[in-house]
């Protein structure tokens, strides 16, 4: 990481152009301690602050901001609401009003809000998610999805955002998302920038295995020789937990650990029991620290219906775990089947998922692929992400100044 502040040329003054620190505003509505998007925002802010970028966060509240206290300014935008549509609409209005009374070099939104310069499409394209979700739904559920007021509002907000004249750049966290934005909204190639998520390569590393493997396995009654698959995340239906449970019935002797909080947790526990998997599938609920779970596992599994690029996949690979995922996941761009893990072409194909699980459970296979997975992500540390973000910001500001 460069040891100089991130700067941009300003208007000419005196004998030459002034040089000013970058002032960036980030927009994210809410904080979920188990949410990957929120962890990304926190890590991005910390990495940019380390480059002396002046950061301001616009949010309803941000419980995780304590460690950045004094380094990140916060503007609270928390109007009253009832229901999800009013919540998102009211927050967007409040944010746009706040931006009119403050000055920033760039405004980057992580929400579908039209008054931003840069949009980070970390949640992907809502239309695409609905299309993927509908494939796994029955007739009545598909009808409910099509008529749901929140989905209708979100699609309209997404359209306003991508058609906004204020929008100068879209940061996509995978090529998958880039192609979806281009296909659905026709944005010019010059506006679409792929910047992969960054991961803390020091915190998430293969040494976690030696520190946590024996201890965590003993807590769950799992032998050292058993193959252990790990799932980390919320949103069980979207991320494929139902399919994963069914696939586990075809993998003899292996265990599955599901880390995450979800409203369907009890339902999934009952489903596992009904499938005679209660002694091999372990639900931990939400965990403040997921590193021990990466340390105890052999392979990370995310059979998602749709995920632009989950932080958990990067964390797992950095921790030396191979990744099994689907073509509907941006993290598949980091995997060659049989090298860093396995890719299932169809998230709904339980037979193919079971085949991939059995391949990964073969003796020595997970260790070999896990080492390759770590090598694959070593270029994607937080510092590298911050450098790429700052380069984009400087380019956009200088283009604006000379436009």
Q: How confident is the model at residue 31 (pLDDT cuts 50, 70, 90)?
A: low
Give percent above pLDDT 70 in the chain: 90
Q: How confident is the model at residue 15 (pLDDT cuts 50, 70, 90)?
A: very low
Name the least confident of 35-39, 200-204, 230-234, 388-392. 35-39
Q: Looking at per-residue confidence, does 193 or 71 come out higher? A: 193
Q: How confident is the model at residue 390 (pLDDT cuts 50, 70, 90)?
A: confident
Q: How confident is the model at residue 20 (pLDDT cuts 50, 70, 90)?
A: low
Has residue 214 got a pLDDT over 90? yes
* Dist. CA 23–CA 103, nearest whole Å: 8
Q: Can you identify the CATH homologous superfamily of domain 7-198+381-402?
A: Glycogen Phosphorylase B; (3.40.50.2000)
Q: What is the mean pLDDT of residues 237-250?
A: 96
For 208-377, CATH number? 3.40.50.2000
Tell me the pTM: 0.88
Q: How confident is the model at residue 193 (pLDDT cuts 50, 70, 90)?
A: very high
CB atoms within 10 A of CB 395: 13
Has residue 331 got a pLDDT over 90? yes
Q: What is the mean pLDDT of residues 103-131?
A: 95
In 16-123 the beta strands, taken as DSSP E runs, fall at 16-21, 23-27, 54-59, 72-76, 106-109, 118-120
Spell out the domain ranges in the chain: 7-198+381-402, 208-377
Q: Tell me whether domains 7-198+381-402 and 208-377 share a fold.
A: yes
8 A C-beta contact, residue 356 and residue 344: yes
């Amino acid at each position: 990481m460069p040891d100089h502040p991130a700067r941009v040329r300003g208007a000419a003054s005196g004998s030459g152009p002034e040089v000013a620190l970058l002032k960036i505003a980030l927009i994210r509505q809410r904080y979920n301690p188990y949410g990957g998007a929120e962890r990304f925002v926190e890590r991005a802010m910390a990495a940019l602050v380390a480059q002396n970028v002046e950061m301001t966060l616009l949010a309803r509240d941000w419980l995780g901001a304590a460690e950045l206290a004094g380094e990140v300014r916060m503007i609270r935008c928390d109007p009253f609401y009832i229901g999800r549509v009013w919540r998102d609409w009211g927050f967007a209005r409040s944010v746009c009003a706040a931006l009119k009374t403050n000055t920033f070099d760039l405004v980057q939104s992580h929400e579908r809000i039209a008054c931003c310069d840069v949009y980070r499409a970390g949640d992907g394209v809502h239309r695409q998610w609905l299309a993927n979700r509908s494939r796994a739904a029955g007739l009545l559920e598909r009808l409910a999805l099509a008529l749901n007021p929140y989905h209708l509002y979100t699609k309209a907000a997404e359209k306003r955002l991508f058609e906004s004249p204020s929008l100068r750049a879209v940061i996509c966290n995978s090529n998958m998302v880039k192609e979806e934005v281009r296909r659905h909204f026709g944005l010019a190639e010059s506006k679409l920038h792929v910047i992969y998520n960054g991961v803390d390569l020091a915190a998430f590393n293969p040494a976690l295995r030696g520190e946590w493997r024996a201890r965590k396995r003993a807590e769950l009654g799992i032998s050292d020789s058993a193959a252990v698959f790990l799932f980390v995340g919320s949103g069980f239906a979207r991320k494929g937990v139902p399919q994963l449970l069914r696939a586990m019935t075809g993998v003899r002797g292996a265990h599955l650990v599901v880390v995450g909080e979800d409203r369907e947790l009890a339902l999934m526990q009952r489903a596992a029991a009904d499938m005679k998997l209660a002694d091999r599938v372990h639900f931990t609920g939400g965990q403040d620290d997921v590193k021990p779970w990466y340390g105890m596992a052999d392979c990370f599994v995310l059979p998602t219906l749709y995920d632009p690029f989950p932080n958990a996949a990067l964390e797992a690979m950095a921790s030396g775990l191979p990744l099994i995922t689907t073509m509907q996941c941006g993290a598949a761009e980091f995997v060659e089947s049989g090298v860093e893990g396995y890719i299932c072409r169809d998230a709904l194909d339980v037979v193919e998922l079971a085949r991939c699980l059995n391949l990964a459970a073969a003796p020595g296979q997970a260790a070999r692929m896990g080492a390759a997975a770590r090598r694959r992500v070593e270029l994607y540390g937080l510092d590298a992400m911050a450098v790429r973000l700052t380069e984009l910001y400087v380019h956009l500001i200088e283009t604006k100044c000379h436009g």
